[in-house]
Structure 1
């Protein structure tokens, strides 16, 4: 990888872009527009909504009505602004490039866009190419889900540049993700003089949390997690309110529907409490279909020609925008990005030597998927 290329990628990493920092995300979108200069690429910029940054739709390749190859990257990250100065400085150690968002997923987006630009310049695309760059994947794609699904319905394949797994494995199946918010209301009272009159919302929430956590079933690939709890006003006051979010992961649509009903149907153990639950399935399960298996086999043969072995990971627990395309029946290959580790942590890094072969694979996929 050349120094000018690394310098460009360094600029991307230095441009911190947590999801809700609209200015940072939009600076990243500006860098993509700059990257496409000089290439025959049509650029549509979609103004951000819901307090989020902009999205980009890039089009290239044959101008026909045949279904397209849809490529998807997100440029929002989870690290707050200042992480690169304080906790995760940009640096190279051997074959590792460290920095916030380098693994998930700026390096992958950068080299995939380079491959897209090269194919556009050469005019070698097998089908029309649509590249969607999003600002909100890390929070479930609330703004761009409808865009993703609309483009997917007009596409023959979907390629997702999320980072690869465990030594470079690509992703052909993911769990579905559900997100819920639970609010428990009790009755406040003085903890000393009026204890019997109170109804402790935290106590009732704890009982509900036990029921929710008991819904986990590893044999079916179902997990439920309550990772945060908020409640109470003072140590000497019976708490009136308690709230907590629920994370749900499922392997099948049927389990998603069943667990959604169970969580939305939570009832209090005593009529003096009130429980309100909102939410639902955030991402549908991404199940490996025959079409996705054929797509993986094709990518594996291309990788062999390039000089590396492409391996499919077991079903992945985390969701991505590939869940949306796969749920619509579009053959979807995910995890096509850089190898590395430490996503969402202060040890995040990408493996530099995997960039060039992965970029070549992306290019060849765009040129050969018919």
Structure 2
């Protein structure tokens, strides 16, 4: 095994303690005070594990927790962005924390506090075993990923443009432990129909039933799903009506779509935005967008996967890849053309589920893989510059 692996193995108890501390610091996305407490803990942890050579820039937020950027001072090596979020979907006290059979359970431990922590320890292993780092680490910890990265997207894209590659520390795919070399793009639409209300018994013929019109639209939307292309369109919520004896004048639906390419996203969005009511007296309002572009399995991203496989061979780890339906902040960086690889976090299972957990017995191995990827990346750059 490598020097980095040995260092991490020797500090396994420290890693365990850090993990417990960061998971115990619960950080529900919309509870800014709690999220900022976690952010302060991360500042302390960075200082303790990596020293004061890293400059911290705080990006204050009104609604969400403050975003945190850490950059190593005084280095001109290739910049690698370690991209993580520290908000979670769980309310404070909703999910207990426990260790059981080398698994750690707790709120956000899989998605994605363990992955965030592993990026810190991966770089720590390089700092402690090398005279000089092969890359210049950049850490961006955001606070609003679970609600769509509305306040952090611009910052993510801004920082990513200054980096040569992006390592997304989201967890590995459950069950296979695969890295994620492709993610679907995610779009969200709200569609409202205004009809005409009327008495359901005395003047039914005078009304325009908004729920009926929405039902016609639901059928058209669901028919856009094309499994062969990896496209899904899902009407997930529907609202309408006031009482059973009133022809409903208002109805609305919320639509989620997933696509594997920007070309397919354009097709779906055009189809949705051209929807018309069956009854010309009804009015349809359509509002939405592609919230996250797809992370496509392109040549630049595949080079990072090949680098990961090379790193795995040094550690006797088989590294495989997968394509998944959920999006991450890596979707944004990949769409900018910046080489991006996802799923470098700690294996486990149960994202957003009550059995959420990681395999702590695989923490050191996965962390060492990230460190070796940095080593190889630096070696390749130095070779190219000779």
> Which TM-score applies when normalising by structure 2?
0.89
1:260/1:17 Cα in 2 relative to 1: closer, same or farther (>3 Å)?
Answer: same
Which of 8, 12, 17 in structure 2 is aligned with 1:7? 17
Q: What does residue 20 of structure 1 align with?
A: 30
**Deviation of the 1:249 alpha carbon:** 0.7
Q: What does residue 366 of structure 1 align with?
A: 374
Q: What does residue 46 of structure 1 align with?
A: 59
Please state if 1:111 is matched with 2:118: yes
SS at match of 2:179: coil
Please state if 1:254 is matched with 2:263: yes
Which of 72, 78, 98 in structure 1 is aligned with 2:89? 78
Unaligned runs of 5+ in 1: none
Aligned residue runs from structure 1 range 1-370, under 5 A = 2-38=12-48, 39=51, 40-49=53-62, 51-60=63-72, 62-64=74-76, 67-84=78-95, 89-120=96-127, 124-165=132-173, 166-313=175-322, 315-369=323-377, 370=381
The answer as to whether partners of 2:27 and 2:35 remain within 8 angstroms in 1 is yes
**Deviation of the 1:317 alpha carbon:** 0.9
SS at match of 2:345: coil
Q: Distance in 2 between matches of 1:123 and 1:205?
A: 65
1:130/1:43 Cα in 2 relative to 1: closer, same or farther (>3 Å)?
Answer: same
Q: Distance in 1 between matches of 2:351 and 2:269?
A: 28
The answer as to whether partners of 2:55 and 2:73 remain within 8 angstroms in 1 is no
Runs of 4 or more consecutive aligned structure 1 residues displaced over 4 Å after TM superposition? 120-123
**Deviation of the 1:180 alpha carbon:** 1.1
**Deviation of the 1:350 alpha carbon:** 0.9
When the two chains are superposed, the root-mean-square deviation of aligned CA atoms in Å is 1.8
**Deviation of the 1:196 alpha carbon:** 2.3
Q: Distance in 2 between matches of 1:10 and 1:213?
A: 43
The answer as to whether partners of 1:220 and 1:251 remain within 8 angstroms in 2 is yes
1:153/1:3 Cα in 2 relative to 1: closer, same or farther (>3 Å)?
Answer: closer
Structure 1, residues 260-280: CA drift from partner, whole Å, max 9, x if none?
Answer: 111122211112211111111
The answer as to whether partners of 2:183 and 2:294 remain within 8 angstroms in 1 is yes
1:352/1:98 Cα in 2 relative to 1: closer, same or farther (>3 Å)?
Answer: same
Q: Distance in 2 between matches of 1:254 and 1:199?
A: 36
The answer as to whether partners of 2:311 and 2:376 remain within 8 angstroms in 1 is no
**Deviation of the 1:62 alpha carbon:** 5.0
**Deviation of the 1:323 alpha carbon:** 0.9
The answer as to whether partners of 2:238 and 2:251 remain within 8 angstroms in 1 is yes
Q: Distance in 1 between matches of 2:241 and 2:108?
A: 36
1:364/1:62 Cα in 2 relative to 1: closer, same or farther (>3 Å)?
Answer: farther
Structure 1, residues 217-275: CA drift from partner, whole Å, max 9, x if none?
Answer: 11111110111112222333222221221111111111111111111222111122111
Q: What does residue 5 of structure 2 align with?
A: none
SS at match of 2:156: helix
Q: Distance in 2 between matches of 1:235 and 1:15?
A: 48
Q: Distance in 1 between matches of 2:39 and 2:186?
A: 27
1:124/1:181 Cα in 2 relative to 1: closer, same or farther (>3 Å)?
Answer: farther
The answer as to whether partners of 1:61 and 1:129 remain within 8 angstroms in 2 is no
Deviates more, 1:299-308 or 1:255-264: 299-308
Structure 1, residues 98-136: CA drift from partner, whole Å, max 9, x if none?
Answer: 112111111111121222344456663323221110111
> Which TM-score applies when normalising by structure 1?
0.93
1:316/1:124 Cα in 2 relative to 1: closer, same or farther (>3 Å)?
Answer: farther
